Chain A
């Protein structure tokens, strides 16, 4: 079946503009995660969705970042008034509902490479 897909694959924008990044998780996966990977940095967690709610937003770096998920499926990460330090690869992952009992595999999409000029 289809894996996690993300769009666009590449986005170049000017400083100060807003951008929207989209993630289509694997069908049936109720858990959805956003991460980002900056040049020279590791992968950092941004936000977690269980269904349409986001119980963990602790990784969002500022209030310019927001995300939503509708219908328990597609998620959109929005960055307002982009800054050059927002340049990174934004990765989405999905999984079956997380449970401490058993652990669960996350499936990652290919990422969106965002460049802010």
Chain B
């Protein structure tokens, strides 16, 4: 399973795009990159995942570099409710188990 590295914390102004980086230089060819977030006192919430191509859904966009060694999660218009810990996870396990790191604490400020 790929080890991921994320900044410990980030701030973002409300209404602006939040760009959360993740390094996963040890990722292998068949490993997906997953993003989850955890809002205080709640269970983690799935955001998005991708393999090679950039992905977009109603919550966010995921940009994966061509060499797949890093990715960026983009929340296009951050709101106060997006304040959470964001986890970038790479997993090639045959079981799908998620190996969480410490994540990035995103603070959206008014």
Contact = CB atoms under 8 A, between A and B. Distances in A.
A95 B91 CA distance: 15
Interface in A8-54: 31, 33, 35, 42-45, 48, 50
A114 B102 CA distance: 21
A107 B102 CA distance: 20
A48 B44 CA distance: 17
A107 B46 contact: yes
Contacts, number: 62
Contact of B97 (A4, A33, A107, A108): A33
B94 A100 contact: yes
Interface in A44-71: 44-45, 48, 50, 55-56, 59
Interface string A101-117: 00111111111000000
B49 interface: yes
A103 B49 contact: yes
A72 B102 CA distance: 32
B96 A95 contact: yes
The winner among A44, A103, A107, A109 for most chain B CB atoms within 10 A is: A103
Interface residues of B, number: 24
B95 A106 contact: no
A100 B92 contact: yes
B43 A44 contact: no
B96 A108 contact: no
Interface of B: 30, 32, 34, 38, 42-46, 49, 51, 87, 92-103
In the A-B complex, the 10 residue pairs with the smallest Cβ-Cβ separation, listed nearest first, are: A108-B43, A98-B96, A103-B32, A43-B100, A105-B46, A48-B95, A56-B95, A45-B97, A42-B100, A103-B49
Given A42-B100, A44-B100, A106-B46, 19 more contacts: A4-B43, A33-B96, A33-B97, A42-B102, A43-B38, A43-B44, A43-B87, A55-B95, A56-B95, A59-B97, A98-B94, A100-B92, A103-B96, A105-B46, A106-B44, A106-B98, A108-B43, A108-B44, A110-B43
